[in-house]
Amino acid sequence: SNRALDRITTAILDSDTRWQWDDTNYTDYPIGMTNLVDGQRDYTLEVSHLKILGVEAKDSSGNYYPLLPIDTLDMTSRGISPTEFMETNGLPQYYDLIANSVMLYPQPDVSVVTATNGLKVRFQRGPSYYATTDTTKEAGFASIFHRLIPLYASFDYATANEMVNKATVINN
């Protein structure tokens, strides 16, 4: 049933790019916050996210402002080494996503940013999976689509066990 949740979540995320869907079983918003550290460029991300929607930093007045996405290819195509790009500490303006990290350019100067919870990352995450002990948990999306979970699970079972006719009926 968790594979079915993955398939349904993928369809939901593909259906509307302007809606930041999140599984209703989560009790918090998909926003991560961490402290900014003087001179630190690299901030490690949790790996449970599917997509980063935006990164914000907090200035010394306590106001968040959006950072612009940039990529190391943008830097190198202009003949600038990423290690030399905006190397003086200051008010972060750009972020680059590399593996499971957010890299800030320039790296923060704590005299011009608010360090405590100074970095905010908005993201999309996957579904809240079922545990084998769950007996009452409902899927975290509109109930009219809940029937898709056993249908997808049945299709996977029929396909894996060479039940071609049943798989065809379920797929239709």
Residue pLDDT, tens place only, 82-107: 888 999 999 999 999 998 899 999 99
Determine whether 140 is exposed, middle or buried from the number of CB atoms within 10 Å of its CB (0-12, 13-18, 19+). Answer: middle
- Read off the amino acid at residue 99: A
Task: Output 109 or 46, whichever has higher pLDDT.
Answer: 109
Assigned token pair, 130:
């079922």
Task: Output 15 or 86, whichever has higher pLDDT.
Answer: 86
DSSP label of 149: H
CA-to-CA distance for 80 and 70, rounded, in angstroms?
13
